[in-house]
Amino acid sequence: QVQLVESGGGLVQAGASLRLSCAASGNNFGLYHMGWYRQAPGKEREFVAGIDRDDFTDYADSVKGRFTISRDNYKNMMYLQMNSLKPDDTAVYYCSAGRGYFWGQGTQVTVSS
């Protein structure tokens, strides 16, 4: 069992930066593939970034070069550093463990133009 809680969302202007955090509770955090997904109004949930237990990372083309995913297994934390934010990044961002098996409650990111 893994419980996930996101934080760090907010309202920012285009070009700003935010860092999202995902705090995990439960056993074997370091063994899970972890990821960030987002869902904008009227759209389906989409993959943003992923990181496996060996710190190999993967990114959606829409965020590549702007977002960085990382994890700290000793603190049971995962992060998403978001730079050069665009209005199209506006969405609820969800933390996931186990390739979509576990989900957090989401945190709202709103980027104004």
CA distance 84 to 105: 25
Instruction: Give SS3 for 4.
Output: strand
Residue holding tokens 């994890």?
71
Q: What percent of the chain has pLDDT over 90?
A: 92
What is the predicted pLDDT for the residue at 7? Answer: 98
* SS3 assignment for 85-105: CCHHHCEEEEEEECCCCEECC
| Predicted confidence (pLDDT) per residue in 13-52, tens digit | 999 999 999 999 988 889 899 999 999 999 999 999 999 9
Q: Sort 71 into a burial class: Cβ within 10 Å, 0-12 / 13-18 / 19+.
A: buried
What is the predicted pLDDT for the residue at 1? Answer: 77
Mean pLDDT, rounded, of the chain: 96
CB 76 within 8 A of CB 29: yes
